[in-house]
Amino acid sequence: MKATELPIINFLQTPNVQYVIPVYQRNYDWTLSECSQLLHDIINVEQEDRGTHFIGSIVFIHEGAYSTREVRELVIIDGQQRLTTINILYVALYRFAKEKGMEKEAEMLYNMYLVNQYVQLDSSKLKLKQTDTNSLAFKAILEGNEKGFSTYSNVIENYSYFNSQINEVNFEIIKNGLKRLIFVEISLERDKDDPQRIFESLNSTGLDLSQSDLIRNYILMDLQPREQQRVFNIIWSPIEENARDLVKQKSMVSAYIRDYLTLKNKKIPNKSKVYQEFKQNYSDKRDEGYMNELDSIKALSVHYKMFVNPQTVGNPEIRQQLEYINRLEINVAYPFLLQVFEDWDNGIIDKAILLNVLKLVQNYAWRRFIVGLPTNSLNKIFMTLYSEIDTEEYYDSLAIALLSKRGNSRFPNNEDVTSALKDKDLYNIKAKNRNYLFELLENYNNREYVDTSKDEITVEHIFPQNPSDNWVRNLSEDELFLFKEKFLNTIANLTLSGNNGALGNKSFLEKKKMNFKVGEQGYIYSRLWLNDYLKTIDTWNIKAYETRFNLISNRFLVIWKYPDVEVPSNGDIIEQTIFEAESPRHKKLEYFIFRNNKVEEPAIANMYSHVLQELYTINTELFLSNDILRISRDKEEFRSAQEITNRYYVEFNIDSDTKFNILKKLLSLFDLEEELLIKYDLDVAIQGNRYGIRKEYWTQLLPLIKETDLFRNVSPTKTHFISCGAGKTGISYTLVTTGSHCQVELSILAGQKETNKSYFKKLKANQNSIEHSFDNKLIWQELPENKMSRIKYVLDDVNLFDKSHWSKMNTFFLEQLPKFEEAFAQEISKL
């Protein structure tokens, strides 16, 4: 085996060599996504003059020093995707040069990279020798016959993409960028090396870098050694420590970064592309905000530690609720809960609200489990859920948001749950789910907690799984059938017992009164609530079953309660699939979510175009062959042609209803019915709700602020506050309006609590001079128990929702904001 690092063009320029893709290799399956990234890298390495760009390795087998063939064959066993794609790109460059009359350039590209110029045999002419359809497709693009190629091929599609990207401006850039690509050539000699062993070694899963490894290397690699150590100690090491499952001793850093990116971008990265998403978000590592973002990642990892290790939480009530969420594996809620816990840390909500939120998340997930709703929609729900919270009415706004979900995203009501409970098999479910159910049922309002997880306490069938003759004699044929076939494993036929083995399949009276060797095994001796009703009856039949079911189901509805809030009927907060939505005619969007990616886009036409592009990427062959939508590369076929991607056009002169109907049919064809969610923007139309009133107030106030540049680039929002930077990361000026007061505030909210308290104390040391400059006393709130601190000036007795107060509020903000900024600006600059 011989390994050499060299430029890819040196490899491709080798004369009288043919690169053979053997039949046992997988098909060429690179898509536009990979081609786009490669072309981006090629252009960037040239434009940024970065020297070289490494593209991995190519492993091949050769026949040794001596060969009688006209060309030397190199059998590619690893790297065929990259090699094929680069050859396709060279074909696109050759075709461009030829079409533009650049004859010498075209001849050089053709003879140097694509063919063996002087060989005689046609079969040896092409430098890249592929198999089957790929070979025919490659010859078609080389000869300019791709339009006559009827079979779908990634070779054709990727050529079309490259062809669409090359122009007079970037032609030389791409050519020169290709010269900068380097790879490791690993040559194996047949009969001397073991290609399979080497291939497995190169691709060993044990050597694969995890997503978190790649992120760590990305963060640290470019730093000087001393700075590397510092950033590792103060940023990365705490993140690794916090994002670790202490029970399983398993790193959760990749999962945590994925959840953090989901929270920030409202888009769920693919598990295998977390590093790629991270790198894309933080590509400018020289930017000041980059280190602040790392600080934020570190700060929120403290909350994540509580999620994956509830046993580390000091407060027993919060610990218990997190244990339940952990046990039910509601980890799709983690991105949402990261921000909720940050709000708790900052004093925006208190412990009581936090506990109610945690219980509401459980209630929503558990009711959905009972009813049997699919779990695959939950990640999209929690991905954007925080954006629907009104911090003034935290719990109620969250409850309304969840109650407003429709279809498979809905919050099951009491009728749904009661109906499902009666028939659902709750015995043959995950043990931890079953234990959760019985633990909460048993311990609701119990003064003395019963640990239902003890080994001696097990789930007991009242009507047994293998009934004795006594049961057959004492029940009617219909009752026996119902218990055996319908109710055996349902909640009303299940109870808890410390004597499961002893009770077995005995008759009901024996189970009730059993006291073998004074062991008090029977129901009448039990202290469990679940057995209280069983003490009062002598026969277990369908009537008794119905009575016990009512007792348990009523208790269930109290424990996992349906939120008692009024959902606005105007529908201004409903997020739903397009299959459930009203007609889009004369409407705008607030946003849409497609395949876990939230896009804030008002135009339905732009959503239509976006989804079509995504469907092309998901399954190009299916998209191009569908009978639902006419697609063509000839734009003259349409009245109003719109390019979707890769020079494919569709008709765009259609109304919104037609666009919706086409999308519905396509989504059904692709089995993606639940993957497109929309939310109509009704804030403008509905001014009576609190969101619309807030947005209306900020809309009229912001243009009036002229004595300071603060808030010049801030847009109106539906929240009760707006903020802008104060010239120091983590510090902002904030304007607040509520139903009882308004205020100008300096919000101190950096990533770390210690930083915030330090800033606050330095400002507080100059309280007298600051208040003298402001010409008024301020309210100084260090908030020692919370992460944030604040300093504010308040106007009481004004109500945002009474428009007659707006003039007074405007005067307050316009007069106090410039003075407030002037009083703090100099001291902030010193921090």
As a whole number of angstroms, the distance between CA 421 and CA 556 comes to: 9
Burial class (CB in 10 A: 0-12, 13-18, 19+), 820: buried
* Contact assessment for residue 449 and residue 320, using Cβ atoms and an 8 Å cutoff: no
As a whole number of angstroms, the distance between CA 462 and CA 479 comes to: 14
Mean pLDDT of 560-572: 78
As a whole number of angstroms, the distance between CA 55 and CA 49 comes to: 17
As a whole number of angstroms, the distance between CA 190 and CA 20 comes to: 14
**Listed range (41-45, 258-262, 593-597, 733-737) with the worst mean pLDDT:** 593-597
User: Is the per-residue pLDDT at 225 higher than 70?
Assistant: no
Location of structure tokens 């935290």: 394
User: Is the per-residue pLDDT at 623 higher than 80?
Assistant: yes
User: Is the per-residue pLDDT at 194 higher than 70?
Assistant: no
Closest CA to 378 of 441, 308, 325, 300: 325
Burial class (CB in 10 A: 0-12, 13-18, 19+), 5: exposed
Mean pLDDT of 659-676: 94
Question: What is the reported pLDDT for 206?
Answer: 39
Instruction: State both tokens at 718.
Output: 């539906």
β-bridge pairing 17-20 and 128-129: parallel
Q: What is the pLDDT of residues 408-445, one digit of tens each?
A: 899 999 999 999 999 999 999 999 999 999 999 999 98
Instruction: State both tokens at 92.
Output: 């696109």
User: Is the per-residue pLDDT at 304 higher than 70?
Assistant: yes
As a whole number of angstroms, the distance between CA 601 and CA 744 comes to: 32
Q: Give me Rg for the CA atoms of the chain.
A: 34
* Contact assessment for residue 361 and residue 337, using Cβ atoms and an 8 Å cutoff: yes
User: Is the per-residue pLDDT at 572 higher than 50?
Assistant: no
Closest CA to 717 of 590, 809, 814: 590
Q: What is the pLDDT of residues 483-539, one digit of tens each?
A: 999 999 999 999 998 765 566 678 899 889 888 766 777 899 888 999 999 999 999
* Highest-scoring range by mean pLDDT, 71-85, 144-158, 753-767: 753-767
CA distances from 801 to 518, 698, 738, 778 (A): 70, 13, 8, 26
The model's confidence at residue 581, banded by pLDDT at 50, 70 and 90, is: confident
Mean pLDDT of 543-565: 96
Three-state SS across 278-309?
Answer: HHHHCCCCCCHHHHHHHHHHHHHHHHHHHHHC
Question: What is the reported pLDDT for 686?
Answer: 41
Mean pLDDT of 276-300: 84
Contacts (Cβ under 8 Å, ≥6 apart) of 717: 694, 695, 698
β-bridge pairing 721-725 and 731-737: antiparallel
The model's confidence at residue 198, banded by pLDDT at 50, 70 and 90, is: low
The model's confidence at residue 202, banded by pLDDT at 50, 70 and 90, is: low
Question: What is the reported pLDDT for 126?
Answer: 93
More confident position, 508 or 448: 508
Helices 211-220 and 253-265: crossing angle in degrees, nearest 10, is: 80
DSSP 168-222: TTTHHHHHHHHHTEEEEEEEEETTTS-HHHHHHHHT-GGGPPPHHHHHHHHHHTT
Question: What is the reported pLDDT for 674?
Answer: 86
The three-state secondary structure class of 581 is: coil
As a whole number of angstroms, the distance between CA 253 and CA 308 comes to: 11
Question: What is the reported pLDDT for 281?
Answer: 87
As a whole number of angstroms, the distance between CA 33 and CA 178 comes to: 19
Phi-psi region of 137 (alpha: psi -120 to 50; beta: other; left: phi over 0): alpha
More confident position, 450 or 268: 268
The model's confidence at residue 222, banded by pLDDT at 50, 70 and 90, is: low
Element (H, E) at 95: helix 80-99
Mean pLDDT of 346-350: 93
Question: What is the reported pLDDT for 630?
Answer: 93
Burial class (CB in 10 A: 0-12, 13-18, 19+), 594: buried
* Contact assessment for residue 589 and residue 679, using Cβ atoms and an 8 Å cutoff: yes
* Contact assessment for residue 437 and residue 611, using Cβ atoms and an 8 Å cutoff: no
DSSP 706-741: -SSSTTTTPPP-SSSEEEEE-SSTTEEEEEEE-SSE
Question: What is the reported pLDDT for 242?
Answer: 96
Three-state SS across 109-163?
Answer: HHHHHHECCCCCCHHHCECEECCHHHHHHHHHHHHCCHHHCCCCCHHHHHHHHHH
The sign one gets for the Cα dihedral 725, 731, 733, 736 is positive
Question: What is the reported pLDDT for 269?
Answer: 92
Instruction: State both tokens at 298.
Output: 């570190």
Question: What is the reported pLDDT for 445?
Answer: 87
* Highest-scoring range by mean pLDDT, 51-55, 431-435, 698-702, 728-732: 698-702
DSSP 359-393: HHHHHHHHHHHHHT--STTHHHHHHHGGGG--GGG
As a whole number of angstroms, the distance between CA 392 and CA 349 comes to: 9
Q: What's the whole-model pTM score?
A: 0.76
Instruction: State both tokens at 514.
Output: 């059993």
Phi-psi region of 596 (alpha: psi -120 to 50; beta: other; left: phi over 0): left
Closest CA to 70 of 124, 11, 128: 124
Question: What is the reported pLDDT for 554?
Answer: 97
As a whole number of angstroms, the distance between CA 649 and CA 639 comes to: 11
**Listed range (205-209, 594-598, 734-738) with the worst mean pLDDT:** 205-209
**What are the backbone angles phi and psi of residue 265, rounded to the nearest 5°?**
-100, -10
Beta carbons within 10 angstroms of residue 185's beta carbon = 19
Beta carbons within 10 angstroms of residue 515's beta carbon = 11
b/e map 245-263, b = 16+ CB within 10 Å: eeeeeeebbbbbbbbbbbb
Three-state SS across 605-622?
Answer: HHHHHHHHHHHHHHCHHH
Q: What is the pLDDT of residues 170-185, one digit of tens each?
A: 999 999 999 999 998 8
Element (H, E) at 460: strand 458-461
Query: What letter does residue 630 receive in the DSSP assignment?
Result: -
Closest CA to 72 of 17, 11, 123, 112: 17
Question: What is the reported pLDDT for 278?
Answer: 92
Residue 642 identity (one-letter amino acid): Q
Return mean pLDDT, the chain: 89
